[in-house]
Amino acid sequence: MKDLIVVTGGTKGIGRAIINRFAAKGFDVITCARSLPDLESMKIAVENAHPGIEVYIFKADLSEKESAMEFIRDVTGLNKHVSVLVNNTGSFVPGQIHNEDEGTLEKMIETNLYSGYHITRGIIKAMIERKEGYVFNICSVAGIAPYLNGASYCISKYAQLGMTKVLREEMKPFGIRVTAVIPGSTLTASWDGTELPESRFIKPEDIADTIYNAWSLSKNTVIEEIVMRPQLGDV
């Protein structure tokens, strides 16, 4: 039976790079995103690049609980063993506590924290039964050091890192490894239009390689936190 990876938010950036990396190593893929056309084009590209790999796609907005629960039902309905879960869904809205738009905190929490919370709860039960699996949460350096103009984003990412630490402790008796991936400025679509050179950013492919390497270690070892930054420092 082939290994299977679930990656939320898999059509672009870090999520897409993770899918490509694991598909190249023989993993089938389950992913979701809000845009069905993006999902369909990604599925064609990945399956063409890696013959024999199956990519299962589902349209979902994980900032909404019911949509997250529907995605869980889609995944479990396939009756396949999930080896790796990557909670990658996230969004950023600039602002400061005293001046950001009303509702920004709620939206950041729903997208950056609750989505991973619900998806993990739905998928990890089968991992617990089998006593094996790996969960990666794509966190952010904003969750270890605050910066101006990222108030609710930072708050949500601090909470996400805390959730990851709690989950790791809970999963130790079941042999399930849990890693917080904490990247700095990464060259994704959120930086479209920037005049900064590529050398000022982490490549999504580097994050994907790092995640695969962590997964490849023996089950005796877990890398608890991976902090990654551009070599020249964060933007």
Question: What percentage of the chain carries pLDDT values higher than 70?
Answer: 100
Do the strands 4-8 and 225-228 form a parallel or antiparallel pair, or are they unpaired?
unpaired
Q: What residues contact residue 223 under an 8 Å CB cut-off, 6+ apart? A: 179, 214, 217
pLDDT-derived band at 114, boundaries 50, 70, 90: very high
Average pLDDT over residues 93-110: 96
Let me know if residue 234 belongs to a domain: no
Q: Does pTM top 0.85 for this prediction?
A: yes
Phi-psi region of 26 (alpha: psi -120 to 50; beta: other; left: phi over 0): left
Let me know if residue 235 belongs to a domain: no
Let me know if residue 71 belongs to a domain: yes
pLDDT at 29: 98
Specify the DSSP element, H or E, that contains 16: helix 13-24
Q: Give bridge partners of residue 135 from the DSSP assignment.
A: 85, 178
CA pseudo-torsion sign 25, 19, 221, 232: positive
Into how many domains does the chain fold? 1
Assign residue 27 the CATH number of its domain. Answer: 3.40.50.720
pLDDT beyond 80 at 123: yes
Let me know if residue 79 belongs to a domain: yes
Q: Give bridge partners of residue 150 from the DSSP assignment.
A: 95
pLDDT at 128: 98
Let me know if residue 61 belongs to a domain: yes
pLDDT-derived band at 147, boundaries 50, 70, 90: confident
CB 208 within 8 A of CB 20: yes
3-class SS of residue 110: helix
Let me know if residue 28 belongs to a domain: yes
Q: What residues contact residue 77 under an 8 Å CB cut-off, 6+ apart? A: none
pLDDT at 28: 98
Structural domain boundaries enclosing 115: 4-228
Let me know if residue 233 belongs to a domain: no
Let me know if residue 139 belongs to a domain: yes
pLDDT at 142: 95
| Strand spans (E) along the chain | 4-8, 28-33, 55-59, 84-87, 133-138, 176-183, 225-228
CB 206 within 8 A of CB 185: no
pLDDT-derived band at 25, boundaries 50, 70, 90: very high
